[in-house]
Amino acid sequence: MIMSDTFIDPSSASHPDSVLRLSSAVHRFAIPYINPKDHISFEESFKTCSQNHSKTIAAMHQADNRRREIKAAMASGKVIHTSLSSSLKEYIPVINQILLSCKFQPEVARLDKHLVFSWSSGIEYNKYNKSKEFSDSEALMFEFVLSIATYALSESNIGCDSCVDGDFPKASRQFAKTAGIFQYLGEDVLPNWMANSMQHAEMENETLAETRVGVCVAMTHLYMAMAQQMAVATLLAKPGTPNYALLGKLSSGIAAELETFVTTFRSKSPVHMSRIDSSFLTLVTFLINIQHSLGLYFLGRSLWLNCEYGVAIAAISEATVAARTRTTPTGRGCKLNQYAMRKPAND
């Protein structure tokens, strides 16, 4: 038996690879889809009122071209989200321009042909019901809101791709961008639309999740949590000893954001919460417990580095309990159901 005098400092031990995998686990949402049978044309619908205005004709032509590009990108076997986001980024300002024209000159905005916009939801996508149910509306605001929401979810899918590739800083930026877009919808666009609507109850029950204030506010918290997850993964992926105190605070913040997402969704839009994939909610519940556990684990590592060994052992012991599979429905730990991380169909 060979004895060694070399002392191995436990504090220098690297974190397990599983910590990085758990920290970077995120959900990929499907995107909303335009109904393939939707063949609207802004040029045809606004033909009379725009015939003497070259700039208006050009705007209508541009809107039709961008919308055709978006539909073509959605109809492809595998959506290229960078291309889709680029088309949406050009389409949204044009729709906003048409909206403003109709708002300030309603007497001029007379349609030669009805505009009926038809979209399916991405947030309400359910793996047990893969058939897309389309919702129709003649409101330009409906088209505007769904276009912005699609842009947000397309950007989040780019973030998911970056996460898979191990580019966590880019993924963090993409998720933060998505959170900002949903915040814009939930705090600006949708409240203004709802303030001028006389059919709140009917819209709450019948329209898509992306058009509800409560859903967009909740999604803001979800993507803020995902952006922070990527920040944690970035620190863990770097060589050397990470700042465990910072990681502990970030993990606790992630758990808090995820809890706020669930409570906001449940309280402000229960109708739409019942429509989303139940396995996604299982994942969120799992992640909340895991992030609480990781927060305690990182706290324990930080305390150990500061030579507070007793408290460090207690913190890591609590982390173990928080990560343990529950033995009873009301017990501590993670409630694990079978959940397959998946890519949405046609995505």
Residue 317: which pLDDT band, with cuts at 50, 70 and 90? confident
Q: What is the largest CA-CA distance in the chain?
A: 96
278 — pLDDT class (breaks 50, 70, 90): confident
Q: Are 230 and 176 in contact (CB under 8 A)?
A: no
- Tell me the residue type at 198: M
Mean pLDDT of 59-88: 90
| Reported confidence tier of residue 3, pLDDT bands at 50, 70, 90 | very low
CA distance 277 to 273: 9
Average pLDDT over residues 99-122: 82
Confidence of residue 27 (pLDDT cuts 50, 70, 90): very high
Q: What pLDDT does residue 217 have?
A: 97
Residue-level pLDDT at 218: 96
Instruction: State the pairing for strand pair 134-137/33-34.
Output: unpaired
Q: What are phi and psi of 341, to 5 degrees?
A: -65, 120
334 φ/ψ angles, rounded to the nearest 5 degrees: -90, 135
Looking at residue 217, its amino acid is V
Average pLDDT rounded to a whole number, residues 212-230: 96
User: Taking 50 as the threshold, does the pLDDT of residue 264 lie above it?
Assistant: yes
If you average pLDDT over residues 296-319, what whole number do you get? 84
Share of the chain above pLDDT 90, in %: 45
Q: Which residue has the higher pLDDT, 85 or 307?
A: 85
pTM (two decimals): 0.86
Contact 334/284 with Cβ under 8 angstroms? no
Label residue 197 by pLDDT band (50, 70, 90). Answer: low
What band does 288 get if pLDDT is binned at 50, 70 and 90?
very high
DSSP string, 114-129: ---EEEE-STT-BTTB
User: Which pLDDT value is given to residue 46?
Assistant: 84
Cα gap 287→106, rounded to integer Å: 49
Q: Could you give the C-alpha distances from 52 to 25, 47, 64, 84, in angstroms and in order?
A: 55, 9, 19, 32
Q: In this predicted model, what pLDDT tens digit does every residue of 74-97 receive, in sequence order?
A: 887 688 999 999 999 999 999 998
Structure-token match 């669930």, residue found: 262
Percentage of residues of the chain with pLDDT beyond 70 = 82
Helices 81-104/54-75 angle, 10° precision = 150
Q: Is the dihedral of CA 218, 219, 220, 224 positive or negative?
A: positive
Residue 274 CA to residue 263 CA, distance in Å, equals 13
pLDDT confidence tier of residue 110, bands split at 50, 70 and 90: confident
Collapse the DSSP code of 308 into the 3-class scheme (helix H, G, I; strand E, B; otherwise coil) and give the result: coil
Are 236 and 242 contacting, i.e. CB atoms less than 8 angstroms apart?
Answer: yes
Please name the residues in contact with 3: beta carbons below 8 A apart, sequence gap of 6 or more. none
pLDDT higher than threshold 50 for residue 324: yes
For residue 314, pLDDT beyond 70: yes
